[in-house]
Amino acid sequence: MMTNEEMQTAREHIIEISRQLHDIGLLVRTWGNISCRVDDDHFLITPSGIKYEDLTPEMIVLVKISDLSHEGDVTPSSEKAVHAVCYKARKETQFIIHTHQVYASCAGTLGLKKVLTYFEDDEDVVIPVAPYALPGTQKLAENVEMTVKKFPEINGFIMANHGTICLGGNSNEAFYEAEKMEVACNNFLIDVCKTDMHHGVIVGFNSHLEGDEIVYDIPDTPERVKNIHKEIYKKRPDVKYIVHNKSAAVMTVSRRANHMRPLLDDFAQLIGYSVKVPSNEYGKDGQNFHNIKKHVNAVFALNDGAYCLGSTEDDALAVADVLDKGCIAHIAVMRHGEGHYLSLFESIKMNRHYRKSYSKLADIKK
């Protein structure tokens, strides 16, 4: 076992790596997790539901590999079992990074067992895909364990419809795997799925509530757009902020009537399990924009992007970010010709869990 001083250094290093990954966009909000091996029997891991920018060393949790028991009152990441099976399967692994990074996650929705692609200088890359299971479950850990054992020479893996797991003998090696996978998967999506799209939020017309008054970020917001904002606030009293996302992927999806079923766990959790694009610019009945529904946090407008909803500005921006990733995945599946969608049962279960526990935990520990 490490000394107390070494443990403190390890905790601080995990936080440093998490913030570096956060700064380059590979870790977002509270999604993903990072761990390092302490000895043959234990590892340190980031906690559940706390933003990376808010982490302190005492929040990094010591977990026992054999039975997942942990010290202290802080709850470790819900994916601790995935980390544990990787440490068991790979004795040389000392550091693990799990991310929900955009392009690798999108490549993991196509129903492939392996992503065959390339990195810089035409270096061939094989990225195995672990079969899908609900996040935080023993089944997901078993699927990852099976895949890691099947490909003993590979250190970067995709968890289908979820994210990545990157192994390393140290933090630099695991970090490199995450970066390499993102470049390689973007190359794959561009070449195979023709989705050469930059991920991000391109803001259109935002607003927020101050008391009962709607305050628009742009004073000369068109009346047509104001009517959408008014209708959203009327039907969704829980919403206080609206971010209008007009990114390339969101705009592409908004250009035709569509029904978006979740392809990614975080989409189902944060946005909802059924998102529709209206068939005309006035909505389903010619008067109101449809899909302004409880627990559905994205409202599309035909050929005009989507309105992303939240009780805080941070929540609305998170919806906008996840929606863009979900739209890239949706376009990739459409152009690839096949993909793996989450079931309605899985989507509803994750959405309810996120609303009732995960998001509340994040708010409590801000």
Domain architecture of the chain: domains with CATH? 4-193 (3.40.225.10), 207-364 (3.40.225.10)
pTM over 0.85, yes/no: yes
Rg of the chain on CA atoms, in Å: 21
| Listed residue (327, 341, 321, 310) closest to 258, CA to CA | 327
The alpha carbon of residue 240 and the mean position of all alpha carbons in its chain are separated, in whole angstroms, by 23
Handedness of CA 319, 83, 21, 60 (dihedral sign): positive
Residues 6+ apart with CB under 8 A from 145: 85, 86, 88, 89
Among 265, 251, 362, 260, smallest CA distance to 314 is for 362
Distance of alpha carbon 366 from alpha carbon 191, whole angstroms:
41
Question: What is the CB neighbour count within 10 angstroms for residue 194?
Answer: 12
Residue found under tokens 């023993």: 138
Report H helices in 90-222: 102-107, 138-150, 171-193
List the pLDDT tens digit at each of the 366 positions of the chain: 688 899 999 999 999 999 999 888 887 776 789 999 999 999 999 998 788 888 899 999 999 999 999 988 899 999 999 999 999 999 999 999 999 999 999 999 999 999 999 998 778 999 999 999 999 999 999 999 999 999 999 999 999 999 999 999 999 999 999 999 999 999 999 999 999 999 999 999 999 999 999 999 999 999 989 999 999 999 999 999 999 999 999 999 999 878 899 999 999 999 999 898 887 765 554 455 567 888 899 999 989 999 999 999 999 999 999 999 999 999 999 999 999 999 999 999 999 888 777 555 544 444
Q: Tell me how far the alpha carbon of residue 140 is from its chain's centroid.
A: 16
